[in-house]
Amino acid sequence: MNNLQDVWRKRFNYYITELQKYMRYIFTGHMALVIVFLLGAGGYQYSEWLKVAPHDFPTILFVATVMGIVLTISKPVTLIKKPDEVYLLPLETKMPMYFNRVLNYTVFSQLGVALVVYLVMWPMMRQVGEIEVSGIAIGLAFTVLLKWWNVHVEFMFRWATKGRYVWLDRIVRGILSGVFLYFLLNHDSLYAIIMIIILALYPVMCKKKTLEEPFPYEHFVKLEENRMMRIYRFANYFTDVPAVKGNIKRRRYLDFLVNGVPKTKKTTFEYYLVRSFIRTDDYFFLWFRLTVITALVAAFVNMPIIVGIVAAALAFATAIQLKQALGKPVDFSMSMLYPLPADARQKAAQKVTRYTLIAQAVIVTLAGIGTPYFYLQGIVVLVVGEITLRLSK
């Protein structure tokens, strides 16, 4: 038993160290500034909506639906590794102690999101839904219990089915969680009690199945590897992560962009980098995500100053990261065999990045149509992006 405690402690410490190592590159000064302004703008818009929200708005149904979705997402953080399929087999009878640590940490790490979402909707429930504070507080307490329930049930269901039909389990758990909260907030005590009975019986069936099946190491190893890779890929947008290998995907619908680059000696690197940008997931989705975030802010926030600050910050992030990624020198490439200037790649990287900023500016401008001074947001993207390209190395 002590060995398994040591295994969990060492793996947990390593996991936390990995998170801290890469999170410091993500939550930098400019990103923190963007988050603060987004929260401020979102809070202001939310408070303004509460003043004019119709009294017939289905508050309880909305809260139940949102919380059902949020609570359903409960992937267990097992920290299981490939060699465990062999080395932990002799300790399989003592694994429940390890799994208790796993489930406790999973609940603790995911509970914050559910609580924040519920607390954000508290003013809406109080002002629009006119629900008593005591009723909302009881709903908050049951949100904690429902999160614990969802985490344990998903773990048992994955064990029982070896990861198959997880989507079906999530639909069932989402409906059960949402319906229970709906009856609870609606003060339908009888139906709420019936839902409690159903909620209690569902994991019993899953637990019975797990007793008949050995622990599916392969599924949980794959689940853990995919989870860590998502963390590394996200961190890779802000800094180089050795564990990440860029995926290449053919995007035929964007071939016209590659074909639009003249095939001449002067545009060798321009053609190569446009092709690389379109087909490399790391480059393309970096630009795509930052552009989508900026466009959403431009579309739904009616405060030009806030939108301008967000657009400027994300345009800076787009310009600096794409320029450095595309212009990064390599040890050898076939282009070195041709008589091209030494700085040809850097100039082409700057030019291609400028193309992406122009596209970003157009999308942001179109997304902001209908908001005050929407045409200024695209100008902000272009100006900040161009200054960043000229002043950065």
Q: What's the whole-number average pLDDT of the chain?
A: 86
In terms of residue numbers, what domain contains 30? 2-233
109 CB-near residues (< 8 Å, 6+ apart): 77
Say yes or no: 98 and 213 in one domain. yes
319-335 per-residue burial string, b: 16 or more CB within 10 A, e: under 16: bbbbbebbbeeeeeeee
Q: Is 218 left (phi over 0), alpha (psi -120 to 50) or beta?
A: alpha
- The verdict on residue 246 lying in a domain is no
> DSSP code of 100?
H
> What is the per-residue pLDDT for 2?
55
Helix, strand, or coil (residue 374): coil
Q: Single out the residue in 202, 233, 264 at which a domain terminates.
A: 233
Cα–Cα distance, 119 to 385 (Å, whole number):
37
- The verdict on residue 23 lying in a domain is yes
> What is the per-residue pLDDT for 334?
60
Q: Are 151 and 170 in contact (CB under 8 A)?
A: no
Say yes or no: 77 and 169 in one domain. yes
Quote the number of domains for the chain: 2
Say yes or no: 203 and 276 in one domain. no
Q: Single out the residue in 233, 261, 283 at which a domain terminates.
A: 233
> DSSP code of 90?
G
Say yes or no: 277 and 189 in one domain. no
Q: Single out the residue in 204, 233, 262 at which a domain terminates.
A: 233
20-48 per-residue burial string, b: 16 or more CB within 10 A, e: under 16: eebeeeeeeeeeeebeebbeebeeeeeee
Say yes or no: 168 and 48 in one domain. yes
Say yes or no: 74 and 126 in one domain. yes
> DSSP code of 248?
B
| pLDDT one-digit tens code per residue, 36-61 | 777 777 788 888 888 888 888 999 99
Structural tokens at position 280: 């490399």
Say yes or no: 16 and 165 in one domain. yes
| pLDDT one-digit tens code per residue, 244-254 | 666 777 788 88
> What is the per-residue pLDDT for 112?
92
Q: Are 114 and 74 in contact (CB under 8 A)?
A: no
- The verdict on residue 226 lying in a domain is yes
Say yes or no: 225 and 289 in one domain. no
Cα–Cα distance, 155 to 125 (Å, whole number):
32
> What is the per-residue pLDDT for 147?
96
- The verdict on residue 301 lying in a domain is yes
> DSSP code of 368?
T
**CA torsion through residues 303, 306, 312, 315, sign:** negative
- The verdict on residue 155 lying in a domain is yes
Structural tokens at position 70: 């949020």
> What is the per-residue pLDDT for 299?
85
Q: Are 102 and 27 in contact (CB under 8 A)?
A: no
Say yes or no: 135 and 49 in one domain. yes
At 98, the amino acid letter reads Y
- The verdict on residue 363 lying in a domain is yes
* DSSP string for residues in 200-261: HHHHHHHHHHHTTS---HHHHHHHHHHHHHHHHHHHHTTS--TT----B---GGGHHHHHTS
Cα–Cα distance, 109 to 146 (Å, whole number):
14
139 CB-near residues (< 8 Å, 6+ apart): 63, 118, 125, 181, 184, 185
Cα–Cα distance, 311 to 294 (Å, whole number):
6
> DSSP code of 341?
-
Say yes or no: 190 and 96 in one domain. yes
Q: Which residues in the chain land under pLDDT 50?
A: 1
273 CB-near residues (< 8 Å, 6+ apart): 326, 345, 348, 349, 352
CA 369 to chain CA centroid, Å, is 27
Cα–Cα distance, 237 to 26 (Å, whole number):
8
Residue with tokens 């809406």: 124
- The verdict on residue 192 lying in a domain is yes
- The verdict on residue 238 lying in a domain is no
> What is the per-residue pLDDT for 332?
56
Q: Is 373 left (phi over 0), alpha (psi -120 to 50) or beta?
A: left
Strands (E), the chain: none
> DSSP code of 329?
-
Cα–Cα distance, 333 to 98 (Å, whole number):
49
Say yes or no: 162 and 268 in one domain. no
Say yes or no: 119 and 31 in one domain. yes
> What is the per-residue pLDDT for 65?
95
